């Protein structure tokens, strides 16, 4: 059945979209970028990081582009002073939540969080740092989970469940105490369900999941591979 075509305006520009697409998908299909950290093409969107918030004409509310479906005639604004301000707050909060010591991170220079902050011109944060005490799980022979660098985007959870089908990762606890855990809170090395495929590592936007053996700045993620894998398999989230 051919999908219905819709006309949508994004930042004033008229684009055509397909019914069922989210605003983010429609924007991407037309070469428009909307900032996001939790979304990864091919995985079910969750709307967790709220960086992709956009304004829609006719309402005062803000909507996450990753989970809001396009509607015919919709007019979307992706950049405004208010959106920029809120996106900056989001990034500030991510930096203070855990211990993002870029200078000591394998992903330094290749980190989506770091890049986003640079793009938004963030040179400092206005909130006090939490400096929580967090574990680093080195038990897996090939990979590391460093909670200090996790932003709870849950890409690893979804890639493991939706692509690998292993369902190793979950989020435990709630609120500020939320943590990514493997196999009912086992050490990663003891997680029987893990196939060591490494998809979670490649999907992770920061240095929270990394391959062992790399020094600072050396870990380059290939999360395009995930998206192209999805496309090749024809999996549609």
Q: Give yes or no for a contact between 74 and 63, defined as CB atoms under 8 angstroms apart.
A: no
Q: How far is the CB of 196 from other proteins (least distance, A)?
A: 26
Sequence-ordered alpha helix ranges (H) in 17-168: 23-29, 81-97, 112-119, 155-158
Residue 52 phi, psi dihedral angles, 5° rounding: -85, 15
Choice between 107 and 202, CB closer to other proteins: 107
Residue 171 found at the interface with other proteins (CB under 8 A): yes
Choices 7-15, 26-34, 44-52, 138-146; region in contact with other proteins by CB under 8 A: 44-52
State the residue for tokens 């196999």: 183
Choice between 141 and 236, CB closer to other proteins: 236
How far is residue 109's CA from residue 220's CA, in Å, rounded to a whole number?
9
Residue 49 found at the interface with other proteins (CB under 8 A): yes
Q: Any idea what the Cα angle at residue 168 is, between residues 46 and 41, rounded to 5°?
A: 35
Choices 6-14, 99-107, 136-144, 224-232; region in contact with other proteins by CB under 8 A: 99-107
Among 23, 39, 40, 45, binds other proteins (CB under 8 A): 45
Site string for other proteins, 113-152 (x = CB under 8 A): -xx-xx--x-xxxxxxxxxxxx-----------------x
Q: Give yes or no for a contact between 56 and 75, defined as CB atoms under 8 angstroms apart.
A: yes
Choice between 52 and 194, CB closer to other proteins: 52
Residue 90 found at the interface with other proteins (CB under 8 A): yes
Residue 97 found at the interface with other proteins (CB under 8 A): yes
Choices 5-13, 89-97, 192-200, 224-232; region in contact with other proteins by CB under 8 A: 89-97
Cβ burial of 39 (10 Å; 0-12, 13-18, 19+) is buried
Greatest C-alpha distance within the chain: 54
Residues whose CB falls within 8 Å of the CB of residue 165, separated by 6 or more in sequence, listed in order? none
Among 21, 67, 77, 227, binds other proteins (CB under 8 A): 67
CA distances from 92 to 43, 47, 114, 122, 225 (A): 26, 18, 11, 8, 29
Among 14, 79, 104, 235, binds other proteins (CB under 8 A): 104
Residues at the site binding other proteins, with contacts judged by CB under 8 A: 45-50, 53, 61-62, 64, 67-69, 85-86, 89-90, 93-97, 99-105, 108-109, 114-115, 117-118, 121, 123-134, 152, 170-171, 173-178
């Amino acid at each position: 059945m051919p999908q219905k075509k819709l006309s949508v305006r994004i930042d004033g520009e008229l684009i055509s979209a397909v019914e069922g697409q989210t605003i983010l998908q429609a924007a991407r299909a037309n070469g428009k970028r909307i900032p996001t950290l939790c979304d990864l093409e091919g995985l079910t969107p969750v709307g967790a990081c709220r960086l992709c918030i956009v304004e829609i004409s006719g309402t005062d509310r803000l909507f996450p582009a990753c989970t809001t479906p396009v509607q015919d005639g919709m007019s979307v604004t992706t950049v405004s002073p208010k959106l920029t301000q809120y996106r900056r707050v989001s990034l500030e909060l991510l930096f203070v939540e855990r211990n993002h010591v870029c200078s000591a991170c394998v992903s330094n220079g290749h980190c989506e969080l770091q890049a986003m902050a640079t793009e938004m011109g963030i040179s400092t944060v206005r909130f006090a740092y939490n400096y929580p005490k967090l574990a680093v799980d080195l038990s897996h022979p090939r990979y590391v989970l460093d909670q200090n660098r996790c932003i709870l985007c849950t890409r690893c959870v979804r890639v493991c469940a939706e692509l690998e089908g292993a369902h190793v990762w979950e989020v435990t606890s709630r609120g500020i105490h939320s943590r990514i855990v493997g196999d009912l809170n086992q050490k990663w090395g003891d997680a029987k369900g893990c196939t060591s495929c490494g998809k979670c590592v490649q999907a992770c936007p920061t240095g929270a999941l990394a391959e062992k053996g790399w020094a600072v700045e050396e870990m380059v993620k290939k999360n395009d591979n995930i998206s192209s894998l999805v496309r090749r398999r024809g999996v549609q989230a």
